[in-house]
Amino acid sequence: MSTMNLLEVHDLRVSFRTDRKNTFEAVKGISFSLPLDATVALVGESGSGKSVSSLAVMGLLPAETTIIHPGSSIRFEGRELLDLPIAERRRLCGKDIAMIFQEPMSSLNPVFTVGFQIGEVLRLHLGMDKRQARARTLELLEEVGIPDPAQKIDAYPSQMSGGQQQRVMIAMAIACEPKLLIADEPTTALDVTIQKQIMDLIAALQRRRRMAVLFITHDLGLVGEIADRVIVMRHGEVREEGAAAQVLGDPRDAYTRALLHCRPPLDARPVRLPVIDDYLSGRAQPGDTLPQRARGYAPGDEDILVVKGLAKSFYVREGLFGKREFQAVKDVSFTLPRGKTLGVVGESGSGKTTVGLTLLRLHRATGGSALFDGRDLVAMSDAEFQAYKRRIQIVFQNPYASLNPRFTVGQILLEPMRIHRIGANDAERTDHARHLLQRVGLPVQAFDRYPHEFSGGQRQRIAIARCLTMKPEILVCDESVSALDVSVQAQVLNLLQDLQDEYRMSYIFISHDLSVVKYISDRVMVMHHGSVVEMADADELYRNPQHPYTQQLLAAIPGSEP
């Protein structure tokens, strides 16, 4: 091993058994090294093999279904990890190599306090007693920027925000002062400001503790702010490797160039976003002058939805008989014209999702009105609202959670048509469902398959097709592209735009991704602590933000100048 490299991976090949006879090769002979005190970014789409590679380093791949092929080598400080006994590998990976996972809520135990979980690491690997572990846990919580650590140490994960949960995961990972920190998509589902805080925190810890960091992401826009070197993967192979400035500034591989240009640009709004295949096939080239789409509300627009003073409070029990009011949405007003898109942005807890759910009456409003074609959605009875359910629909962030895993795609699409008596009979409904699958870019064969057989982007297309079965006039998109790879995200955004052009649908597009919001929105509404702090046409708001909070959000976009 080179004396300058902490980790060296050589010719790593990993396959998984799909059944008794067949295997799938997820990683196909990749090699890379991680120098001491450096940050290396492993970049690629879902299925590229980047997370599998990191789990192979940690020894966390399921032994019963995983094949690591002969000739594969993972050396840490000169020791071959693949040859170590399991107990010794666990000790090493708990102390000298640590990992931050993508979803903290599924990685933290919900029935133990965060203090207990961090303390457990210290007691297990460093032999501390309870008093020592608690004192050190307080120091760690303070180091990762948890507010009021003396109180938060006894909090449960569910009592903390997503950003705070991720900070707890980082505290747990650095507790034993590891030499290598692996961060697997640690900011994917976080707001842009929290994302920036987490990125800054990892960079500061890396410098202060002189750790090596392996940072895994599908977003090339992020890595320029943290990485020294970048490795680009696709289909289990390394496509390009080099210094971050070179790979991001002058990429040599067509796939790397495609990844860089799939994200919606802040300074342009093409009619159609190019996708990976457009660049790889030569249909598009970086630097192409693309037709642009005009955005903004116009004086003659016909308003389909007029919201005035919308409010929503939740009540928390306090003491034996008391209750405390929490105002999630405060006096929100806006208009939505037919065939236009209102973007809603803000951090977690700003009230943006609550606005969408309240309009759909999944929450009961505590004040205000929402006039849909002149009828107040807030005031009407449940029986009256039944006729409006098919006219206003929602696409949720996580399609796997919103699709019934026991239903085929066909059953998922037919059910709402039967409930709302759309179509004369099942044969007509089936024809319509198959047409919609083709409309959202899925093969007709998908009709008889189950949700788990599809990728995340395909599942989101199924969720959109389900909404379209009812021919809605308003579609609420709640973080519906936030967790998707940049190329899949571009495909879904193109689909939403095509549907709007064809059916004149109106969108309320809720997202924390400000690049995406600018691309698809005619007007943008900025929310903070339940209130609207700024609202303007998309181009004007991004060009000249007035409110300090809006300025803070825009400054946090990866690659932007503060």
Interval 373-395: pLDDT, tens:
889 999 999 999 988 988 999 98
Give per-residue burial for 416-445: e unless 16+ CB within 10 Å, then b: bbeeeebbeeeeebbebbbebbebbbbeee
**Is the model's pLDDT at 97 over the cut of 50?**
yes
For 5-70, what is the HEC assignment? EEEEEEEEEEEEECCCCCEEEEEEEEEEEEECCCEEEEECCCCCCHHHHHHHHHCCCCCCCEEECC
Q: What is the CA radius of gyration of the chain?
A: 25
Q: What are phi and psi of 376, to 5 degrees?
A: -85, 110
> Could you tell me if 370 and 378 are in contact, meaning their C-beta atoms sit under 8 angstroms apart?
yes
Report the alpha-carbon angle 6-14-226, nearest 5. Answer: 40
**Is the model's pLDDT at 508 over the cut of 90?**
yes
> Could you tell me if 508 and 477 are in contact, meaning their C-beta atoms sit under 8 angstroms apart?
yes
Distance CA 250, CA 369 (A): 53
Range name among 16-20, 219-223, 378-382 with the lowest pLDDT average: 219-223
pLDDT of residue 486: 80
**Is the model's pLDDT at 275 over the cut of 70?**
yes
Element (H, E) at 277: helix 276-281
> Could you tell me if 537 and 295 are in contact, meaning their C-beta atoms sit under 8 angstroms apart?
yes
Helix intervals (H) in 420-485 = 426-439, 456-468
Share above pLDDT 70 across residues of the chain, in percent, rounded to a whole number? 98
Amino acid at 143: E
Structure token digits, residue 552: 């803070």
Name the residue among 255, 229, 233, 232 with its Cα closest to residue 242: 229
**Is the model's pLDDT at 560 over the cut of 60?**
no
| Contacts of 498 by beta carbon, 8 Å cutoff, 6+ apart | none
The pLDDT confidence band at residue 265, using thresholds 50, 70 and 90, is confident
The pLDDT confidence band at residue 358, using thresholds 50, 70 and 90, is very high
pLDDT of residue 166: 83
Report the alpha-carbon angle 106-162-142, nearest 5. Answer: 105
**Is the model's pLDDT at 101 over the cut of 90?**
no
DSSP secondary structure, 512-542, as one string: S-HHHHHHH-SEEEEEETTEEEEEEEHHHHH
Q: What are phi and psi of 508, to 5 degrees?
A: -105, 105
- The larger pLDDT score, comparing residue 323 to residue 110, is at 110
Determine the average pLDDT of the residues in 116-144. Answer: 93
pLDDT digits 0-9 by tens, 414-467: 999 999 888 889 999 999 999 989 888 888 889 999 988 887 778 888 988 999
Coil/strand/helix, residue 339: coil
Structure token digits, residue 226: 């943290």
Q: 339-363+380-556, what's its fold?
A: Rossmann fold (3.40.50)
Coil/strand/helix, residue 329: strand
Determine the average pLDDT of the residues in 364-368. Answer: 95
| Contacts of 529 by beta carbon, 8 Å cutoff, 6+ apart | 330, 349, 350, 351
pLDDT of residue 559: 58
The pLDDT confidence band at residue 189, using thresholds 50, 70 and 90, is low
pLDDT digits 0-9 by tens, 42-89: 998 877 899 899 999 999 999 888 999 999 999 999 999 999 998 899
The pLDDT confidence band at residue 561, using thresholds 50, 70 and 90, is very low
Average pLDDT, the chain: 89
Share above pLDDT 90 across residues of the chain, in percent, rounded to a whole number? 52
The pLDDT confidence band at residue 267, using thresholds 50, 70 and 90, is confident
Q: What are phi and psi of 490, to 5 degrees?
A: -60, -40
Distance CA 61, CA 38 (A): 25
Distance CA 286, CA 268 (A): 13
**Is the model's pLDDT at 1 over the cut of 70?**
no
Structure token digits, residue 544: 């000249």
pLDDT of residue 130: 93
pLDDT digits 0-9 by tens, 331-351: 999 999 999 999 999 887 788
Q: What are phi and psi of 232, to 5 degrees?
A: -100, 125
